[in-house]
Chain A
């Protein structure tokens, strides 16, 4: 039993005035202890919903079906009070925007110490000492002073380090990092990613890194999952994915990364069109309307998720490089 998390046929839909909105559709996924996987997709592909719903952090308007197993136990049918016991100590999350994810009216120290006191039963002094250690660990200069500060007095990069410190405070075994660097300066992005990688090693944490940036995923993950319109469209080990891309969507994502070796003044590559309307599922492949290789078959029939001998999965009738 080395699996820490296993999703089977996991779907999430929202009850909206326009009908059911299917944000995540039939995802199967398993993550080993200490493994790092990346979930990649554009805005609206369901990656954030997937990570939040897996943790159970969903509003009551969302309906989740399928099962989520955490450390061998099914948690998807538990009450909120039961699921909550895993939060912080079992799984934790780093949020996208450090400008809004810290409480603006409470000091950094109290926000850090809170979980240590409430969840781990530490005394105030123990919690304070541990918080300072954590701040040192995430490389906050002068942690004692930082403990007394309010979030508004710190920069974005600093705040994100503090959010990370809060997330790892109770040594979770699984860390969700939901676009942890999107809201940060490019110069700070690399530092934060490096920090996450170090902490993962140190605490032997599994990590799910949610991002729209294939570049972020390339350096940080063992495995990559590409999502489109709430479905997994390609999944492979990171090296395999970048070496042997199967899915036209992944290729399109790759091509839309601006390149340093291109001469300036060129138009940036984009994926034309938009994500399909999640309230009205289309008959064929959901990427077909935007795919440059799409045929009539793609528009009328749904491609299944194919698994190759090497474990490379893709959802396409006409994969790049041919089907093996």
Chain B
């Protein structure tokens, strides 16, 4: 009963955020300069332009235009491109590469950052700790498109061990798929690796001073066991929250990185759509990006509750 209730609350929250995000975007798109009807038919007469505008819903007010898009979405119509074609097939090919890029990045970032963070906390103040934090700090201060271009140039072009750009779906061979993903994922992962490592290190150092660590020690447990079983778990909720929040940055980052590495994902499509004033497509893209962000955050929220029982009652 209580569970169903909290789930319901959760879902209505998600719906509300989605509606808000897409409505805001629909207003913002309208603020873009330039008349779409002129873009479509530069030599149209005033009457032709008016009818075009009416057809596209551009003569409606914000609410009515938004409603037009929304009601079509509910009917499974994801919109069309003003210059021809439906949005849905493009979405179908553009979502997988972006999702893959982001998930691989999160996995790589966490698998690198957790051991680094744990070790730096345990060896706090040693040469290892200082070396790790300086290196990560300097790497994370380079913008990711810079890192992307450098990696692509050096590893992809000069050394040539990995392809400098391109994308292949998993269905065309797993090895090829991953070989193409290495550089973009590495590029995107550097910033979160640095954030996660520093966060986890700070949290663990705090947790190591707790009484329960002393109690665990007095049971005669090994340092390794204490670190992994007693300290890492209470410390990783901050890390998880940060992973959820960094999703926004990662989506934004992925959009840029896709263009550098020529990956036909959401970023490439979104850039194209913005350039062409494809306002219906933009709106649909944003809805999906928001949906994805919210879904991921909800999953993380749930997982935090699993990991840390103290947070369970606070939510819902």
Residues of chain A whose beta carbon lies under 8 Å from any beta carbon of chain B: 55, 57, 84-89, 92-93, 95, 97, 100-106, 114-115, 118-119, 150, 152, 163, 166-167, 169-170
Contact = CB atoms under 8 A, between A and B. Distances in A.
B310 A114 contact: no
B234 interface: yes
B219 interface: yes
A85 B308 contact: no
Contacts of B222: 84, 118
A105 B233 CA distance: 7
Contacts of B310: 104-105, 150, 152
A118 B230 CA distance: 14
A100 B218 contact: no
A100 B230 CA distance: 13
Contacts of A119: 219-220
A86 B218 CA distance: 9
Interface stretch (B1-9, B44-52, B207-215): B207-215
Contacts of A89: 220
B309 interface: yes
A92 B309 CA distance: 28
Contact of B215 (A85, A86, A163): A163
Contacts of B234: 103-105
Contacts of B24: none
A152 B314 CA distance: 13
B118 to A, nearest CB: 16
A87 B212 CA distance: 15
Contacts of A163: 215
B219 A57 contact: no
B307 A85 contact: no
B142 interface: no
A115 B233 contact: no
A106 B306 CA distance: 11
Nearest to A104: B310
A114 B233 contact: no
Contacts of A118: 219-222, 225
Contact of A88 (B212, B220, B229): B220
Given A103-B216, A103-B234, A152-B310, A115 B211 contact: no
Given A57-B214, A101-B212, A102-B212, A115 B230 contact: no
A100 B217 contact: no
A84 B220 contact: yes
B217 A57 contact: yes
B211 A105 contact: no
Interface in B151-203: none
A85 B218 CA distance: 10
The residue in A86, A105, A119 that gathers the most chain B C-beta atoms within 10 A of its C-beta is A105
B218 A55 contact: yes
**Range, interface on chain B:** 20 to 34
B309 A100 contact: no
Closest 6 A/B residue pairs (Cβ): A87-B220, A88-B220, A115-B219, A100-B211, A101-B211, A103-B212
Given A102-B215, A104-B310, A118-B222, 13 more contacts: A57-B214, A86-B220, A92-B218, A93-B218, A100-B210, A100-B212, A103-B216, A104-B234, A104-B308, A106-B233, A115-B221, A119-B220, A170-B219
A179 to B, nearest CB: 12
A115 B214 contact: no
Contacts of B211: 95, 97, 100-101
Nearest to A96: B211
B308 A101 contact: no
A119 B230 CA distance: 16
A87 B219 contact: yes
Contacts of A100: 210-212
A264 B254 CA distance: 73
11 contacts: A57-B218, A87-B220, A103-B212, A103-B216, A104-B212, A104-B308, A105-B233, A106-B229, A119-B219, A119-B220, A152-B309
A134 to B, nearest CB: 13
Nearest to A103: B212
Interface string B268-292: 0000000000000000000000000
A95 B219 CA distance: 12
B218 A87 contact: yes
A195 B234 CA distance: 31
Nearest to B212: A103
A102 B310 CA distance: 13
The residue in B211, B225, B234 that gathers the most chain A C-beta atoms within 10 A of its C-beta is B211
A106 B307 CA distance: 9
B48 to A, nearest CB: 67
A104 B218 contact: no
Nearest to B233: A105
Given A100-B210, A101-B211, A115 B220 contact: yes
Contacts of B308: 104-105
A104 B309 contact: yes
B220 A166 contact: no
Nearest to A92: B218
Given A100-B212, A103-B212, A118-B225, A88 B218 contact: yes
B85 to A, nearest CB: 52
A211 to B, nearest CB: 18
Contacts of A92: 218-219
